[in-house]
Amino acid sequence: MSEEVLHRHGTTLVRRMRLAPGESTPWHSDPWHRVSIVVTGDQFAVELRDGSPPIHARLTPGQVDWVEPSDRVHRAVNDGDQLLEVVTIYFLGHPDDLPQVIHG
């Protein structure tokens, strides 16, 4: 997994994330509104730490999604055959906020 901050100004943060097939993000929650743009990838799953069934999603490059904040601890898994690259714009509460809360 790789993450790169592309831009940060005030309460706006733009980040690029890449997951190879089979890779996952750390367990985390998302306290802020955000917009995600799929650059590459065909599918992924959201695994929930509470044991609920995973949520599977098909993806299309260029797909744009508005995502609401959530305190549910989860992780994204690239369960597709292609590199998953997503650019996300986070709308933070304060300029020094982190975009996600990591739950080790």
> Is 28's pLDDT higher than 90?
yes
pLDDT confidence tier of residue 70, bands split at 50, 70 and 90: very high
User: Fold for domain 2-94?
Assistant: Jelly Rolls (2.60.120)
User: What pLDDT is attached to residue 104?
Assistant: 85
Compute φ and ψ for 90, nearest 5 degrees: -100, 140
> Is 79's pLDDT higher than 90?
yes
> Is 30's pLDDT higher than 90?
yes
pLDDT digits (tens, 9 = 90+) for 91-102: 999 999 999 999
Cα dist. 87→21, 53, 57, 103 in Å?
Answer: 17, 26, 17, 22
Q: Structural domain boundaries of the chain?
A: 2-94
